[in-house]
Amino acid sequence: MTVSEFLSKSYTCYHAAENCAKMLAKAGFADIDGKISGNPKGYFRVRGGSVFAARAGGKSIKVVLSHTDSPCLRVRYNGGEVTVLETEKYGGGLLRSYLDRKMKIAGRVILNNGGTLVSKLVCSDFNVVIPSLAVHLGAGAHGETLDVSRDMRPVFGGSENLYKTLGAENAVDSDLYCVPADEAFKSGAHGEYISCARIDNLVSVYASVSAIIAAQPKQTVVAACFNNEETGSETREGATAGLLAAFVSDVFKAEKTDACAVTALSEGFAISCDGAHALNRNHPEVYVNNAPVMGGGVVIKRNDRYATDALTSAAVKEIFRLAGVQTQTYYHNPDMRCGSTIGLTAAHTLGCHVCDIGVPQLSMHSALETAALCDIESLTKGLTAFYETEVTVKNDTVKINDK
């Protein structure tokens, strides 16, 4: 699966997790909760919108963290017939970017299967549009603001039942979202960029899963792709939950490794991989000097809302340098509030060393984001090198052996 296909088909966190599982199963990874036979290449686990993958190689451990969810509009539906759908914000999306564009209804429905409640992924085979107010009727005047309850309601059609229209008439409940439906496309004079929804943060998810498939690791390596980062991670599928430690523990059991998952993670090294801001040349005033640019390499992110420190930054720079991967450094405008990632959550809950990195992109949290294809390739190459490099962490020292 190419990155373009992955971005286009992963409408929600649930679809992203399923697509990751397909990639891993095709590569020879076994579902750790299923019947394992032979000698699998590695293991994976899906929990709702979160997915984890691992390849065992001893008690030392390296982790790449990312998240499967992206800002969008969550559908509010209580059943019955509707002509317009009610929504609420999921995450901090740029509302005006959702207006007057092709959208789909996607997510999961819960079906009652003979007394057992089961989850089924759905995606509408039809499109919906959230119409803006015409300029003749006052749109854009007097510092117009958008209200979700008034302005962000998709036109559904002529009084129909949503579940029936989605082919899930007997659904008991649902987690449905109104999401951008445009397929990824190349942009730029030479097709050097990719534009699509969900670049933040499915590019990181795709790169980490591709890297763990391609790598030849000497230590235990994990790709942990969590749900609910955009809403704070404090859920059963989020980074504050114990899913990662439980998965690693089960991997150690499957490999008959006498190691404690909690201890291994606390003594390990993690890369938190999330989108980074690239220089928007139309608005240079909001950036500091030497801001990262698209096509300039993977970004190392420095701020008190990131987990990166001098030691972890130096380690990633060295690993990527040895692999021939160019890096840049991002410092946020000190007069503006900086976003955050699951890096701090990992550093706090796991106790491991963490470095925040990402692909530089434009229009973060918009319905259409843009990044350079070469930076995505560099991220995948860099994460593969990270998985293949022996990294030993002890107090304030990191030993790197790429041989």
Q: Of all helices (H) and strands (E), which one includes residue 263?
A: helix 261-266
Would you place residue 38 in the very low, low, confident or very high pLDDT band (cuts 50, 70, 90)? confident
Mean pLDDT of 362-380: 98
pLDDT single digits (tens) 133-171: 998 988 877 777 899 999 999 999 877 899 999 999 889
Helix (H, G, I), strand (E, B) or coil at 214: helix
Q: Residue 257's pLDDT is what?
A: 87
In the predicted structure, residue 115 carries a pLDDT above the cut 80: yes
Q: In this predicted model, which residue has the larger pLDDT, 397 or 193?
A: 193
pLDDT single digits (tens) 243-274: 999 999 999 999 988 889 999 999 999 999 99
Q: Residue 401's pLDDT is what?
A: 85
Q: Residue 59's pLDDT is what?
A: 81
Long-range contacts of range 76-81, CB-CB < 8 Å, 24 or more positions apart? 77/162, 77/174, 77/176, 79/161, 79/163, 80/161, 81/159, 81/160, 81/161
In the predicted structure, residue 337 carries a pLDDT above the cut 80: yes
Neighbours of 22 (CB within 10 A): 12
- Indicate the class that CATH gives domain 3-70+197-401: alpha beta
Angle at 400 between CA 394 and CA 403, to 5 degrees: 140
Would you place residue 209 in the very low, low, confident or very high pLDDT band (cuts 50, 70, 90)? very high
Dihedral sign, Cα of residue 148, residue 154, residue 159, residue 164: negative
Provide the residue ranges of all domains of the chain, joining segments of one domain with +. 3-70+197-401, 72-180
Q: Residue 235's pLDDT is what?
A: 92
CB neighbour list of residue 332: distance below 8 Å, 6 or more residues apart: 277, 288, 303, 338
Q: Residue 8's pLDDT is what?
A: 97
In the predicted structure, residue 183 carries a pLDDT above the cut 80: yes
Mean pLDDT of 271-283: 97
Would you place residue 118 in the very low, low, confident or very high pLDDT band (cuts 50, 70, 90)? very high
pLDDT single digits (tens) 51-78: 999 999 878 899 999 999 999 999 999 8
CATH 3.40.1440.10 assigned to 72-180: no
Rounded CA separation 92/71 (Å): 6
Mean pLDDT of 297-323: 96
Round the average pLDDT of the chain to a whole number and report it.
94
In the predicted structure, residue 182 carries a pLDDT above the cut 90: yes
Q: Residue 65's pLDDT is what?
A: 97
Mean pLDDT of 274-292: 96
Q: Residue 155's pLDDT is what?
A: 96
Which phi and psi angles does 64 have, rounded to 5°?
-110, 125
Peptide bond into 39 cis (omega under 30): no
Q: Residue 219's pLDDT is what?
A: 94
Range in 170-184, 253-267, 277-291 the model is least confident about:
253-267
